[in-house]
A and B are shown apart, each in its own frame.
Chain A
Amino acid sequence: MNKYVLLCVDDEREVLDSVLADLDTLGDLFDVEAAQSVGEAKELLAEMQQNQQQLALILCDHMMPGTQGVDFLVELNQDAAYKAAKKLLLTGQAGLEATVEAVNHGGLDFYIAKPWQGDELMAHVQELLTDFILENESDLMHYARGLDAEKIFSAIHARRQSL
């Protein structure tokens, strides 16, 4: 079990599977979880809290039955436990209004439009995770490989005297 979790939420199973495949290599450093609805995602979050794991990044679709993606992100952003987590919207159908809401109140960090390129998605996720780790974690060395090594090592270097 890893300290941090990546959560992917999408109501279409195929989309979820393909995202998981794209992010496969991150599995060494992070627990990668998938949920097909916001309800399921909330169950996973509750489980994570029990395991004392922290949400590092959420990758969320917008148009889903039940609670919509942007509303969920806004909800997460108001919760101190999830405020630090990086928030991505992976969607084809978020209107201007929903997107503005996500940026203004959902703490949205990145927007990827469907259809997406696997390697691009991976690169953006890595970049966001690197930022998350730099902002929230003190043991940087562990994350150097798998994320943006250059950025992480230069942060380690900058912090070298306080070790």
Chain B
Amino acid sequence: MKLSKKLVSTIICFSVPLLILAIPSELIPLPELTLVQHRIIAIFVLAALLWILEPVPVFATSILIITLEVVMVSDKGLNFFSHDSATTPLGELLSYNSIFASFSSPIIILFMGGFALAIAASKFDLDTNLARVLLKPFGRQIHFVMLGLMLITAVFSMFMSNTATTVMMLAILGPIVATAPVGDLGAKGLVLAIPIAANTGGIATPIGTPPNAIALQYLPEGAVTFAQWMMVGLPFVLIQLTVAWFLLRYLYPAKEKELPLKLEGTFLQTPRAWVVYLTFGVTILLWLTTQLHGMNAYVVAIIPLAVFTLTGVINKQDLKLINWDVLWLVAGGIAMGMALDTSGLAVKLASSIDFANMSTWLVIISLSVTCYMMANFMSNTATANLIMPIAAAVATTLPVTTQGGGITQLLMVVAFSSSLGMILPVSTPPNALAYSTGFIETKDLLKAGGIVGIFGLGLLYLGLYLFF
């Protein structure tokens, strides 16, 4: 049963793109379509279907994209694919170098730096100890404990992966709520608070979650610095968290008024532990002060990796803990976007729909809502991989209404929207983790996650309206 469903979705995923390849290029309603562009459409459709239906892991799809691109549309691809057909010109083949370069994109290094910080922090228990110390001032009153949990989860997910943060926070909260009776509302609220805060917190920094970095990839070099992103992201996150806090208190009133968390823990004092503390602090500081020293976020990101591997903080085993699946997922998206962009297909697609007659607002809202909907049902990163190249192309066709161009706003809105999708256990890894504890049900996520997400969309539009 399970296998056959997988088989059916695999067949769908591959037959539709094959069908697209089979139809003559003239029949596709895009002007002067080349063979290369035609094939890229098929690859894009394949990627979209594989990412949506997920018959294979999302990172496998990414690797497939890169493979198909170098074989089918690159200058060192299969001979069979490098000739004009009788009726259609081949178009310009992509350089295989630049397709492979998607895995060494600055974005990938940025994430590696982030992973290095997270691995080092967790190896030396910096994350847990810091979380415990920061939780102490929130006392024992259940509402404030929840507020503390949410704020700390959000702050950590700005610099570590949302998933790792959720695991850490659930591990702190878990033993206490595990004693609560089944269906206890207060316990539900607390457990829900963590994935919501983790999903939300990721929005605040470029390295908080992959969709943000993907947005940066499509922006002109230096258009948004780390600090500039945070100046928009942080207030947004704070408002969202406040709303979520009140919402959870209202939806899940606790019977118990106090919640004694166990918060002992001592910071390690070994030289290596100090290397971790200092590097962590300095890296974040460097990220925030690009104007002072000129190094952008990507360049800064490789510094902790160098420091940690040199000092033995991250050894050979630890290096394997880097989330290679996330890196490949992002790289596949970059390769996809690069192909759409360099082949001229993205602009062709964007201009074939008459955006000029649509109001800018309609464009922004339709892109962000599409993104939000997709992110609820599939990987946020895969969503961003699919929507971002299209949004970037669309942005170039929009009438420029503000100085600096609408592209920055549009791509940031799309990135934010993809992090707001959290109504189901499958929406994000933090949701799935919280769901697997058995404390919360799908309907809890639907309700709380739904309200927070929709409110977030509204807040985005309001922010755009007021400030841009």
* Interface positions of A (Cβ within 8 A of B): 139, 141-142, 144-145, 149-150, 152-154, 156-157, 160-163
Contacts and interface: CB of A to CB of B under 8 A. Distances in A.
A14 B464 CA distance: 71
Given A160-B167, A161-B164, A161-B321, A141 B433 contact: yes
Nearest to A147: B178
A145 B178 contact: yes
B128 A149 contact: no
Given A156-B167, A157-B171, A163-B167, 18 more contacts: A141-B436, A141-B437, A145-B178, A145-B438, A149-B174, A149-B175, A150-B178, A153-B174, A153-B178, A156-B174, A160-B164, A160-B167, A160-B168, A160-B171, A161-B119, A161-B123, A161-B164, A162-B321
B118 interface: yes
Contacts of A142: 436-438
Contacts of A162: 321
Given A141-B436, A145-B438, A161 B122 contact: yes
B427 to A, nearest CB: 17
A157 B97 CA distance: 41
A38 B165 CA distance: 48
A145 B167 contact: no
Nearest to A160: B167
A139 B122 CA distance: 20
Contacts of B174: 144, 149, 152-153, 156
A163 B164 CA distance: 7
B163 interface: yes
Interface of B: 118-119, 122-123, 128, 163-164, 167-168, 170-171, 174-175, 178-179, 321, 429, 433, 436-439
Nearest to B182: A145
A144 B433 contact: no
B266 to A, nearest CB: 16
Contacts of B439: 145
A156 to B, nearest CB: 5
Nearest to A28: B438
Contacts of A150: 175, 178
Contacts of B119: 161
> Taking chain A's interface residues, is the majority helix, strand, or loop, or is none over half, making it mixed?
helix
B423 to A, nearest CB: 20
A162 B178 CA distance: 24
Nearest to B171: A157
11 contacts: A141-B436, A142-B438, A144-B174, A145-B439, A149-B175, A149-B179, A153-B174, A157-B171, A160-B171, A161-B321, A163-B163
A60 to B, nearest CB: 29
Contacts of B118: 161
Given A153-B170, A153-B175, A160 B122 contact: yes
A157 B168 contact: yes
A141 B164 contact: no
A141 B425 CA distance: 14
Nearest to A151: B175
A154 B173 CA distance: 11
Nearest to A140: B436
B355 to A, nearest CB: 41
Contacts of B321: 161-162
A148 B83 CA distance: 65
Contacts of A141: 170, 433, 436-438
A83 B167 CA distance: 31
B436 A139 contact: yes
A118 B396 CA distance: 72
Contacts of B175: 149-150, 153
Contacts of B179: 149
B163 A144 contact: no
A131 to B, nearest CB: 17
A154 B178 CA distance: 13
A141 B191 CA distance: 12
A163 B171 CA distance: 14
A160 B429 CA distance: 13
Nearest to B174: A153
3 nearest CB pairs, A to B: A149-B178, A157-B171, A153-B174
